[in-house]
Chain A
Amino acid sequence: MSQTPFYSLRGISKAFPGVKALDEVQLDLYPGEVMALIGENGAGKSTLVKTMTGIYQPDSGELKLAGESIHLATPDAARKLGITAIHQETVLFDELSVTENIFTGHHLTRGPLKMLDWRAMRSQCVKILADIEAQIDPDILLKHLSIGQRHMVAIARALSFDAKVVILDEPTAALSIYETQELYKIVEKLKSAGCAIMFISHKFDEVFAIADRYTVFRDGCFVDQGKIIDITQAQLVTMMVGRTVDQVYPKENIPLGSNVLKVANFSHPTEFNDLSFELRAGEILGFYGLVGAGRTELMQAIYGVSKITQGSIEVEGVSVIIHSPADAIKAGIVYVPEERQSQGVVLDLPIDQNITLPQLSKINKNGLLNQHSEYALADEYASRLRVKAPNWHEPVGNLSGGNQQKVVIAKWLATQPKVIILDEPTKGIDISSKAAVHSFMSELVKQGLAVIMVSSELPEVMGMSDRIIVMSEGLQVCEFNRADFNAEKIVSAASGGLNEKTIH
C-alpha cells in the first residue's frame, strides 16, 4: 500500500447563499485503496464530490492529483484526468443501448470521415462488462435493465474513461443484497487495478466491509481521518453526530392529549410493509431513516397520493378513507412535501393565492373570488409565520427557499388541520429559517396539533421529537421515546444494524 496520496484536497471551502457547505476541508485518496467518506446528510459530502469532479469550483483551497496542482473548470476536464463519479441516481439514457450509453460523449471513430465505429465500441463494451463480470447484453436498451444493472453500466462507463479516481456516491442505496455483493467484487477489481476509490455510504456494515480508510465530515467541516482497522462503529457515529443536540432546539414539554391519528397495517406493493403507529395531540413524532427507507412514500400514502395494498386510518377515533389529497385535507391531515418547488408551491402565483388554494371553495362559498377575505386569511397566516416579502402579492418564486417553505406551512395551517406531516421541513433552507420552522413546530403542538416530522438530519429529529420511529428498507425497525434517545442506537437501527423490534 502506497503512503503518498494520489488525489488530495487541502483547505477546500465552498459557500452558497446562506450556507457554508464546506469549510476548509481536507481529504486524501490513496491508489489501490478505498476511502470511506462518512457524515450525516448536510455534512457536505455531495458538495465535496461535485468539487472533486469539476461540477463546482471551490471558493478557496487546492486540489492535487499525483502531486500536481490541478484546476477543474468543467466535469469534462475532470474526466480527462481520469476522475469520475458514479452517483446514486445514475445519469444515463433510457432509450439508448448499453454500448451507446457507455460511449456517449467519447465515441470511437475510424477513417478520415470520423465514422462511428460501432463494432469497436461493442467489442470494447463486451470486454469492459466481462471485466466487471456483469452479465448484461451490450445491445439491450437501458430502460429494460434493473437499477442494479444500471449501476453496473454506469461503472462500466466510468471504466471506459480509464478512470484513476473513482467516486461512488451512495451506490448501494437502491441495490439488493446480491447486487451489493457484486458491487463489492467490482470495487476489489478497481482496487487491484490501482484506482483510488472514494466510497460514500450511510451503511456502516458496508464501510467496514470494503473500506481501508475513513474520513469524517460534520456540518461542512473535516473532523477526522484514519485507517478503518483502528476504529469502531461507535467511535465513527460519535464523530459523525458529535454534539449535544438538546440545546439548539426549542423543544418544549407539552402534556400529550388524546389520540388523533391511528395508522394501522399500512402496506405498499414495493415501498413499505405493515406499518402501524398512533399519534396524540401535542406530540411530535419523528420518522428517521436513510434515503430510500420508505418514509416519504409512507407519508404520501397517508396523504392519499400513492395507493396502498392494505391498511386503515382513523382520525380522532373515526375511520376515514383517503383516496386523494382532497380527502386527506377534509379529514384534517395535511402534508408539507419534501419537494417544495415541484409539489409544495405554485411558483408563479402570489403568496396569498398560494395560501388560499386548498380552501378556495371554503372562503368563496358561491364560487366567486373575494379578494378581501382571501387577502385577510393569507395575511393572518403569512404574518404568523413571519414570511419575509414586500407584500402578499409577491409571486412565491421570488422568495428564498426558507420563505417558500413558510408559505407552504402557512397554507396548511390556514386549513386548521388536526395532523400536519412535515417531510424534510428544513431541507435546503438557511439557518435562520430553520430555526423559525423549529420554533413554529413547538408553537403548533402547544396549540394541540399533532405533528409528524420526517427528517434525515439526526440532530433535528432528536431535538424536536417526542418519539422517533426508525424505518429501514420499508420496515418499522424500532421506536424510541424521548427519554431513551441515543444517537448511536438510532443511527445503527437506521443502517440496519439493529434488528430487535420496538425498544421502549
Chain B
Amino acid sequence: MQKITTQKWPLPKDLFSIKKLPWEFFLILITVFVFILSAYASPYFLDPWNLSDATFNFVEKAIVALPLAMLIICRDIDLSVASIIALSSVAMGFAAQYGFNIPVIVIIGISVGMLCGLVNGAVVTHFEIPAIVVTIGTMSLFRGISYILLGDQVLKDYPEGFDYFGQGYIYWVFSFEFMLFLVATLFFYFLLHKTNFGRRCYAIGNNPTAAFYSGINVKRHRLLLFVIVGALAGVAAVLLTSRLGSTRPTIALGWELSIITMVVLGGVNIMGGAGTITGVFIAVFLMGIVTFGLGLLNVPGIVMSIIIGAMLISVIATPVLIKKFSQRKG
C-alpha cells in the first residue's frame, strides 16, 4: 500500500460550495432573469424607493428563514414561527400598555420568542417527539394563547420612536429592517459556515447517531437551535409590530409557509444535512422580486401564489432531473 500524495491546505474546494454551486448559480440566474423581465415590464420597477418599499414585504420573514435553515439542516423544523411572532407581539403590546420604555419592550418581545423556542426544543429533545408534530401543536398553542389574551382587542399604545424599527431608514433608501437583515445574513453565514457550531449542524443533519458517538451533545445543540429560531422570530415580531404600529392576534397569520418556502427554495434539504445561507439569501430576493414584479403588473394574489408554488416545485425538481439525465447518459 503506497502512501498517497496529500495535497496541503489551502485547496480551492469546500465540499458544500462545490456541491451547491450549480444550485446557487441557478438561483442567481433566475433572479437576474426575473429582475430584468420586471424592469422591462414595468417602468416603476427600477425606482429605488419602490424597490426599497418592496423589501418590507419579505425581510421580516427572511430574518426568520435564516435560523430556520440551520434548524432544518439539523433535521428539525419549526412550524410555529408565525405563532411565536404573534405571541411575542402580544407580549410587547401589553408591555407597551403598562408603559415600559422601548428597550424593555424589545427585550420582552425577543425573550418571549426565545421562551417559545425553548418550549419547542425542550419537548422535542427531551421527549424525543418529532419536531413537526410538536411544532404543529405549538403553532395552535401559541396562536391560541394570543387569541385568549387579546380577544378582538387591538393593542396600539406603542411609545413614540418604536416605529423606527419597522419604518425607519438608516441611510437614503436603506431601511433599518433591510440593513438588519443584511447583518443577520452575515451573522448566520458566519455561524453556519465558519464555526464549530455550524460544522456540528451538518454532522447532526447527516448522521445524528454518528455525531452522538463522536461526542457531540446532540440534544443540547438542537435545543439551542430552537431557542435561536425563537429569538429571531421575536426579532421579526419587533419589526412587524413596529411597522404596523398595532397588534392583533391574527398578526403574521400563515407566515410559516412562506418562511419555509424561502428555506427550501434556497436549496436547503428538507430531510436535513445540506444547504447554505447563501442559497437562502438568494431565494429571499428571488421571492421578493417575483412578488414585487407581479404586483406592479397587477397580477392578483391567487395567481401570484400559483406562480410561487410552481416556481418552488420546478426549482426543486430541476436539479433532480438534471442528475437523473446525466446519470442515464453516463
Binding site for B on A (CB under 8 A): 303, 305, 324-326, 328-329, 335, 337, 342-350, 353, 357-358, 360-361, 364, 367-369, 371-372, 375-376, 379, 382-383, 386-393, 395, 411, 432, 436
User: With A and B bound together, what is the CA distance between A346 and B274 in angstroms?
Assistant: 12
Stretch at the interface among B27-35, B151-159, B189-197: B189-197
User: With A and B bound together, what is the CA distance between A372 and B11 in angstroms?
Assistant: 10
Measured between beta carbons, the chain B residues less than 8 angstroms from A325 are 212-215
Asked whether A375 lies within 8 Å of B9 as measured between CB atoms, the reply is: yes
Residue with the highest number of chain B CB atoms closer than 10 Å, among A335, A360, A432: A360
Asked whether A393 lies within 8 Å of B203 as measured between CB atoms, the reply is: no
Instruction: Give the distance to chain B from A472, nearest Cβ to Cβ, in Å.
Output: 27
User: With A and B bound together, what is the CA distance between A432 and B2 in angstroms?
Assistant: 12
Instruction: Choose one: B206, B212, B217, B274; the contact of A347 (CB below 8 Å).
Output: B206
B10 part of interface (Cβ distance < 8 Å): yes
User: With A and B bound together, what is the CA distance between A502 and B15 in angstroms?
Assistant: 52
Known contacts A358-B215, A367-B195, A367-B197; A349/B203 CB under 8 A: yes
Instruction: Choose one: A369, A387, A395; the contact of B196 (CB below 8 Å).
Output: A369
Asked whether B196 lies within 8 Å of A361 as measured between CB atoms, the reply is: yes
Measured between beta carbons, the chain A residues less than 8 angstroms from B6 are 379, 382-383, 391-392
Asked whether B207 lies within 8 Å of A342 as measured between CB atoms, the reply is: yes
Tally of B interface residues using CB under 8 Å = 34
User: With A and B bound together, what is the CA distance between A372 and B200 in angstroms?
Assistant: 18
CB closest residue in chain A, given B2? A386
Asked whether B15 lies within 8 Å of A386 as measured between CB atoms, the reply is: no
**Which B180-204 residues sit within 8 Å CB-CB of chain A?**
194-200, 202-203
Instruction: Give the distance to chain B from A394, nearest Cβ to Cβ, in Å.
Output: 9
Measured between beta carbons, the chain B residues less than 8 angstroms from A345 are 207, 210
Instruction: Choose one: B1, B196, B213, B217; the contact of A386 (CB below 8 Å).
Output: B1
Asked whether A357 lies within 8 Å of B216 as measured between CB atoms, the reply is: yes
Instruction: Choose one: B13, B202, B207, B213; the contact of A305 (CB below 8 Å).
Output: B213
**Which B239-268 residues sit within 8 Å CB-CB of chain A?**
none
B7 part of interface (Cβ distance < 8 Å): yes
Binding site for A on B (CB under 8 A): 1, 3-4, 6-11, 13-15, 194-200, 202-203, 206-207, 209-217, 273-274
Instruction: Give the distance to chain B from A14, nearest Cβ to Cβ, in Å.
Output: 27
Measured between beta carbons, the chain B residues less than 8 angstroms from A388 are 1, 4
Known contacts A342-B210, A357-B214, A375-B9; A369/B195 CB under 8 A: yes
User: With A and B bound together, what is the CA distance between A283 and B274 in angstroms?
Assistant: 42
Measured between beta carbons, the chain B residues less than 8 angstroms from A386 are 1, 3-4
List 11 A-B residue pairs with CB atoms under 8 Å apart, sorted by A's residue number: A342-B207, A343-B210, A345-B207, A346-B202, A346-B203, A346-B207, A353-B202, A367-B195, A369-B198, A372-B10, A383-B4
Instruction: Give the distance to chain A from B266, nearest Cβ to Cβ, in Å.
Output: 18
Measured between beta carbons, the chain A residues less than 8 angstroms from B213 are 303, 305, 325, 335, 337, 343-344
User: With A and B bound together, what is the CA distance between A348 and B210 in angstroms?
Assistant: 12
Asked whether B210 lies within 8 Å of A346 as measured between CB atoms, the reply is: yes
Measured between beta carbons, the chain B residues less than 8 angstroms from A346 are 202-203, 206-207, 210-211
Instruction: Give the distance to chain B from A358, nearest Cβ to Cβ, in Å.
Output: 5
Asked whether B7 lies within 8 Å of A391 as measured between CB atoms, the reply is: yes
Asked whether B11 lies within 8 Å of A393 as measured between CB atoms, the reply is: yes
Instruction: Give the distance to chain A from B10, nearest Cβ to Cβ, in Å.
Output: 7
User: With A and B bound together, what is the CA distance between A128 and B4 in angstroms?
Assistant: 61
CB closest residue in chain B, given A339? B209
Known contacts A342-B210, A347-B206; A436/B1 CB under 8 A: yes
Measured between beta carbons, the chain A residues less than 8 angstroms from B13 are 393
User: With A and B bound together, what is the CA distance between A367 and B10 in angstroms?
Assistant: 20
CB closest residue in chain B, given A305? B213
Asked whether A368 lies within 8 Å of B195 as measured between CB atoms, the reply is: yes
Measured between beta carbons, the chain A residues less than 8 angstroms from B211 are 346, 357
User: With A and B bound together, what is the CA distance between A303 and B199 in angstroms?
Assistant: 23
Asked whether B1 lies within 8 Å of A375 as measured between CB atoms, the reply is: no
Measured between beta carbons, the chain B residues less than 8 angstroms from A350 are 15
Measured between beta carbons, the chain B residues less than 8 angstroms from A328 are 215
CB closest residue in chain B, given A376? B9
Asked whether A389 lies within 8 Å of B215 as measured between CB atoms, the reply is: no
Asked whether B214 lies within 8 Å of A411 as measured between CB atoms, the reply is: yes
Asked whether A324 lies within 8 Å of B217 as measured between CB atoms, the reply is: yes
Residue with the highest number of chain B CB atoms closer than 10 Å, among A347, A349, A371, A372: A349
Measured between beta carbons, the chain B residues less than 8 angstroms from A342 are 207, 209-210
